[in-house]
Each structure stands twice: as structure tokens, then as C-alpha cells.
Chains A and B, each alone.
Chain A
């Protein structure tokens, strides 16, 4: 599924790197705990989280995660958005909760990320 479709399904706002919306993804990993993301998510995936600080971007950078979806109306500050822009990570923000976000994406064919 293209990120543009994910954006539409979640009524999401694009916070940066809109040109990446044509990128395809097939799986997602959802967590507010970066320790778990680092420990468990080793295959290419997108990240669903409510954590908006710079370490979320760092974690995504280390794992080659190209898109982060922020849930519950959470939005990072401009410095974090700028940082993600520089790192080539597309940021989306939705008002849905993490549970609902996962549910919508799962029902539309996105699977849970393969774990290590």
C-alpha cells in the first residue's frame, strides 16, 4: 500500500517529506517504547507511535524506517520535524488512537511487522 493511501485512510496530515507518499509499505509496528521497537522490529516497516521526541526519529533512522505515523493528535515540535526531513523520514499525524489506527490499517491489508 502506498503511504498516500495510508494518509487518506487515517485522515492524516503530512508533517514532512510529502514527496515520499508514493512509497509502498506492507507492514507496520506500533509502540510507544523505543526499546521495544529497537529490540523487535528488524524488517522494513513503518512505525505507529504517540511518542514525538527526537529519539523517535533516531530510532527510525537506525532501523531504516521511512515513515512514522503519530497517533492521538500528537505532533512533534518544528525542530523534530526538521530533523526528520533531513533524515528522509516521512511524518504523518492522525487524530485516531493507536488501537484504531492499527485496526484501520490491518483491515486494509497492512500486516504486523516481522519480528527478529
Chain B
């Protein structure tokens, strides 16, 4: 049976904005709690979304987080407008990071972001083109 999309939200994410960084994930968390999604699932979604959001803040020139909520799952697209990832396999390795000094001062740059998103997701897809974009697709089921 095809599951119907119940709700779709989209949040812009601004490059280098460490004050507002995390706001999209926070808003999404509020929404999921209102919908009565199980708290352990909400936590997994939030960790994946927050890591993806902070990746856009830290590494990109800006982008967006889009979340589509279905009866049985959430699909999150984290898209940014570059600079792209030259070696995705390397970027997926725990401990590998190209984060700036300021990102490290904020507690990031441990090289755990992408692996942690993958671990938190039921399905995870990453595509990127150097100089153009990086796109993550994260699917997490509610049960």
C-alpha cells in the first residue's frame, strides 16, 4: 500500500550561523512530539537531522533541510549548494574531518557527523558533486 504524505516542512540553513544552527532540528522535534511519535524514534531523527543541519552550517555555503512525514516514516533531505565532497568514502570514515577552527570550538569536528547520521537512519543516501552540491536523504521508520 502506498503511504500518503501527511506533512512537509522546509527550513533554510545559513552557512556559518552557529547561533541559529540547530533551529530547524529543534522545530522538527517540536513537530514530531506534537504528532505523538515515540520518543526514542524522535531522538534518532533529531540526532540525524541536527548533524546534517550542522554539516550545512559548518561545511557549506548554505542550503536547506526538508522533512516529509508519512504515516510510517520520515524522509529528510539535507541539501547544500556546495562546495561538495571530493571523496565520500573518506568523509564517511569516523574521525575524518575538515571542520574549521570555529566549528571545533563549538564542539564539532570530531569526524563523527556523517557516520552518526548513517547509524541513526534506517536508510541513508549521499550524493555530491564538487563545486555544486551535497545531498543527503535520510529515512527513519516510526516502528
Does B62 belong to the interface (CB within 8 Å)?
no
Q: How far is the CB of B23 from chain A (nearest CB, A)?
A: 9
Does A64 belong to the interface (CB within 8 Å)?
yes
CA distance A66 to B105 in the complex (A): 23
Interface residues in chain B, defined as those with a beta carbon under 8 Å from any beta carbon in chain A: 18-19, 21-22, 25-26, 29, 39, 43, 46-47, 50-51, 54, 105-113, 115-116, 119
Task: Count chain A residues whose beta carbon lies closer than 8 angstroms to a beta carbon of B.
Answer: 21
Q: Are B43 and A53 in contact (CB under 8 A)?
A: no
Q: How many A-B residue pairs have CB under 8 A?
A: 72
Does A39 belong to the interface (CB within 8 Å)?
yes
CA distance A51 to B110 in the complex (A): 14
Q: Are B50 and A58 in contact (CB under 8 A)?
A: yes
* Nearest chain B residue, comparing its CB with the CB of A36: B110
Does A24 belong to the interface (CB within 8 Å)?
no
Interface residues in chain A, defined as those with a beta carbon under 8 Å from any beta carbon in chain B: 32-39, 42, 51, 53-56, 58-59, 61-64, 116
CB-contact partner of B43 in A33, A34, A42, A54, under 8 A: A42
Q: Are B112 and A58 in contact (CB under 8 A)?
A: no
